[in-house]
């Protein structure tokens, strides 16, 4: 998407002209997007196009960048005080009667922190969304606090960020940055971004990149050393702040924001598994978070607040877990199959508590609807129940089309739907095998192929979770069909993880042991009479009830696996033990497999 259809205007301030572009309905809330270094406003084009349906979106080229003129002389022309003058001039021009919602990336975020902590902007900003750019004042205090009270961990944090900030030292070098950007670096930068950051091409970066980068070096020279040496003591944000932290940022440590709560008391945090240039690589997720945050600030009601700050009634331990999960999953779209009961229902509700939007899928349409209703009660901003048989490829294709059209693209897919089958190999009929593999294996294949392809085509990463079982690596004489299906799920997950790693799509296989769900009540026991079938189901259910390992613990493992991008996660002590033996003493497991349980 380019900004060719945008309305452009020129705003004069302090002897320069700023190039301003506007999208969307001017009667709606105004969102101002401020770019970083060495970018121009076009870095925001993908995000702006998504926001323009709901907001009046404003982008402007920072002085000396893109279509804006540069100050003369350059030295002293890029101070934060002058950049604040520019922002106020733009805000007065595009939204003279209402405060604007501010969004900044990289140096746009550094500027934004200045705008929301100085007194003269009070009343002109309604909210601030920051990504990949700290306040220089907060940064200065962060360094001083760690060096004034040094510990190995604190000193290590400072040294680690110092190493990440190598480019800051380079940009203070006289003349060399300008020569590099106007020469070979400027020509190679688009390919560097594509290779190192996986930034797609298109309308970014623009042809003005060499001069933008050369002028932008003065952002660092005019501000960094002065502010880090003498940070302002009163740099408290006077607006609500949303912090979005890319966990793979090569230039900024996550630890920089550990103390941010003392400077921004109304703070909502999100983390994103991405690198630095998230406006280009994750526009869908940014648009969702920005939209939710702006709408919540405009509504200014408790019910509209993000789940990240709605946890007062929970226990302290659960609050900590809730906040951590909400930073990662708030506003993301999660689809869970087999969500009417058991592990699927617990997983859907765990994501809902973390503020995710949830699609609960099950062949039991009423059960899926009940899970969705409960998800909304627990904090999901939106949740829907959808009926589908995961073993039916056409049904899954229709589901994927419906979800994409009505709810958006899935960020996290949980292939959980499964059925149980026990009995000897020779008592297991062809029909038993077909139904078992259709649901337990083909259901996972359909989900991975259909929704995984959508993730790949979108190009913004994602995560696939496949619920396997400890039976995947623990043979049993009475579970040949079930164990075979789950072993297939495990190997599929391992192979798919390798294939999708380059697409920033994680794949995790969760392998529970004995969990107290209703799967035993529906498990088929091959080769026995109906009466014996009922007896075995009842006895198996009592066994699982006595074990009493709750599905909520498996759900917690699912969320952790996504956050940590774990490959294989055995859940329950017996699953972890079997996984260990499968690696170091497989003969022991084979001997155990000969035992026939008494049911």
List phi, psi (to 5°) of 215.
-65, -40
Mean pLDDT of 382-390: 96
The C-alpha atoms of residue 557 and residue 566 are separated, in whole angstroms, by: 10
How many C-beta neighbours within 10 Å does residue 248 have?
Answer: 12
Q: Which has the higher per-residue pLDDT, 521 or 197?
A: 197
For residue 308 the two structure tokens come to 């990240």
List phi, psi (to 5°) of 521.
-70, -15
CA angle in degrees (0–180, nearest 5) for 372-376-381: 115
The C-alpha atoms of residue 505 and residue 509 are separated, in whole angstroms, by: 14
Q: What is the 3 state secondary structure string of 547-562?
A: HCCCHHHHHHHHHHHH
The pLDDT value recorded for residue 1 is 47
- CB distance 252 to 243 below 8 Å: no
Report residue 2's pLDDT band, with 50, 70 and 90 as the boundaries: low
> Per residue in 480-517, pLDDT tens?
999 999 999 999 999 999 999 989 999 999 999 888 66
The pLDDT value recorded for residue 201 is 76
Average pLDDT over the chain reads 90
> Per residue in 226-269, pLDDT tens?
999 999 999 999 999 999 999 999 999 999 999 999 999 999 99
Tell me which CATH code domain 329-517+550-593 carries: 3.40.50.720
The C-alpha atoms of residue 509 and residue 491 are separated, in whole angstroms, by: 9
Report residue 530's pLDDT band, with 50, 70 and 90 as the boundaries: confident
Residue 116's Cβ-side half-sphere holds a number of Cα atoms within 13 Å equal to: 32
Task: Name residues whose C-beta falls within 8 Å of residue 589's C-beta, 6 or more positions apart in sequence.
Answer: 473, 474, 475, 578, 581, 582
User: Would you say residue 377 has pLDDT above 80?
Assistant: yes
Report residue 302's pLDDT band, with 50, 70 and 90 as the boundaries: very low
The pTM of the full predicted model, rounded to 2 decimals, is 0.82
The pLDDT value recorded for residue 310 is 39
The pLDDT value recorded for residue 326 is 76
For residue 249 the two structure tokens come to 């940022």
User: Would you say residue 522 has pLDDT above 90?
Assistant: no
The pLDDT value recorded for residue 372 is 97
- CB distance 499 to 530 below 8 Å: no
- 424-450 as b/e: b if 16+ CB within 10 A: eeeebeeebbebbbbbbbbbbbbbbeb
Helices (H) and strands (E) in the chain, counts: 23, 17
Domains 7-305 and 329-517+550-593 share a fold: yes
Provide, rounded to the nearest whole percent, the portion of the chain with pLDDT above 90.
Answer: 79
- CB distance 360 to 414 below 8 Å: no
Q: Which has the higher per-residue pLDDT, 598 or 473?
A: 473
> Per residue in 180-209, pLDDT tens?
999 999 999 999 999 999 898 777 899 999
For residue 1 the two structure tokens come to 């998407």
The pLDDT value recorded for residue 599 is 55
Mean pLDDT of 280-302: 85
User: Would you say residue 303 has pLDDT above 60?
Assistant: no
List phi, psi (to 5°) of 62.
-60, 150
Domain boundaries 7-305, CATH class? alpha beta
- CB distance 379 to 353 below 8 Å: yes
Task: Name residues whose C-beta falls within 8 Å of residue 580's C-beta, 6 or more positions apart in sequence.
Answer: none
- CB distance 228 to 140 below 8 Å: yes
Among candidate residues 468, 501, 498, 500, the one with its CA nearest the CA of residue 485: 468
Measure Cα distances from 127 to 201, 245, 256, 266 in Å: 31, 17, 21, 10
Report residue 275's pLDDT band, with 50, 70 and 90 as the boundaries: very high
Residue 562 preceded by cis peptide, ω within 30: no
Active site residue 407: no
Measure Cα distances from 389 to 55, 126, 364, 443, 444 in Å: 39, 46, 9, 8, 11
Catalytic residue among 204, 482, 544, 549: 482
Report residue 89's pLDDT band, with 50, 70 and 90 as the boundaries: very high
The C-alpha atoms of residue 99 and residue 20 are separated, in whole angstroms, by: 17
| Domain residue spans of the chain | 7-305, 329-517+550-593
The C-alpha atoms of residue 399 and residue 397 are separated, in whole angstroms, by: 5
> Per residue in 309-361, pLDDT tens?
333 344 444 555 555 677 889 889 999 999 999 999 999 999 999 999 999 99
């Amino acid at each position: 998407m380019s900004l060719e259809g945008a309305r452009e205007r020129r705003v004069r301030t302090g002897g320069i002209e700023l190039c301003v572009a506007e999208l969307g309905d001017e009667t709606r809330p105004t969102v101002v997007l401020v770019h970083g270094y060495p970018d121009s406003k076009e870095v925001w084009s993908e995000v702006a196009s998504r926001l323009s349906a709901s907001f009046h979106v404003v982008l402007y080229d920072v002085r000396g960048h893109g279509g804006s003129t540069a100050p003369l002389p350059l030295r002293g022309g890029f101070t934060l005080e002058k950049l604040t003058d520019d922002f106020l001039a733009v805000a007065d021009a595009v939204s003279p009667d209402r405060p604007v919602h501010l969004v900044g990336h990289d140096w746009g975020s550094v500027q934004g922190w200045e705008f929301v902590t100085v007194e003269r902007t009070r009343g002109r900003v309604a909210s601030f969304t920051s990504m990949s750019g700290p306040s220089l004042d907060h940064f200065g205090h962060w360094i001083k606090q760690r060096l004034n009270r040094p510990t190995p961990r604190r000193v290590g944090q400072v040294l680690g960020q110092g190493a990440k900030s190598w480019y800051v030292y380079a940009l203070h070098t006289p003349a060399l940055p300008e020569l590099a950007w106007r020469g070979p670096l400027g020509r190679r930068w688009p390919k560097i971004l594509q290779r190192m950051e996986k930034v797609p091409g298109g309308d970014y970066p623009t042809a003005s990149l060499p001069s933008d980068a050369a002028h932008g070096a003065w952002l660092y020279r005019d501000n960094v050393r002065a502010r880090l040496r003498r940070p302002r003591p009163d740099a408290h944000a006077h607006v609500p702040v949303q912090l979005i932290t890319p966990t793979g940022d090569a230039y900024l440590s996550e630890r920089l924001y550990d103390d941010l709560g003392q400077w921004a008391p109304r703070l909502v945090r999100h983390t994103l598994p991405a690198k630095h240039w998230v406006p280009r690589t994750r526009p869908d997720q940014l648009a969702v978070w920005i939209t939710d945050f702006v709408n919540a600030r405009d509504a200014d009601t408790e019910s509209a607040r993000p789940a990240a700050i709605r946890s007062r009634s929970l226990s302290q331990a659960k609050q900590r877990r809730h906040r951590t999960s909400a930073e990662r999953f708030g506003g993301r779209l999660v689809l869970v199959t087999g969500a009417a009961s058991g592990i699927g229902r617990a997983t859907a509700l765990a994501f809902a508590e973390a503020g995710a939007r949830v699609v609960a899928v099950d062949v039991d349409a009423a059960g899926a609807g009940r899970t969705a209703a409960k998800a909304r009660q627990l904090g999901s901003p939106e949740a829907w129940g959808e009926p589908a048989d995961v073993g039916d490829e056409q049904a899954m294709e229709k589901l994927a089309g419906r979800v994409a059209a009505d709810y958006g693209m899935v960020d996290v897919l949980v292939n959980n739907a499964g059925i149980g089958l026990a009995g000897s190999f020779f008592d297991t009929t062809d029909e038993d095998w077909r139904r078992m593999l259709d649901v337990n294996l083909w259901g996972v294949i359909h989900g991975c192929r259909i929704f995984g392809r959508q993730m790949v085509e979108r190009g913004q990463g994602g995560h696939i979770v496949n619920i396997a079982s400890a039976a995947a690596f623990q043979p049993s004489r009475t579970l040949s069909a079930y164990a075979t299906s789950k072993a297939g799920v495990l190997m599929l997950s391992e192979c798919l993880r390798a294939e999708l790693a380059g697409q920033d799509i994680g794949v995790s296989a969760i392998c529970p042991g004995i969990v107290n769900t209703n799967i035993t009540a529906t498990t088929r026991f091959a080769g026995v009479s109906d009466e014996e079938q009922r007896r075995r189901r009842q006895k198996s259910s009592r066994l699982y009830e006595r074990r009493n390992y709750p599905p909520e613990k498996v759900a917690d493992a699912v969320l952790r696996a996504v956050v940590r991008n774990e490959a294989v996660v055995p859940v329950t002590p017996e699953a972890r033990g079997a996984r260990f033996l499968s690696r170091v003493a497989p003969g022991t497991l084979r001997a155990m497999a000969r035992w026939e349980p008494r049911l």
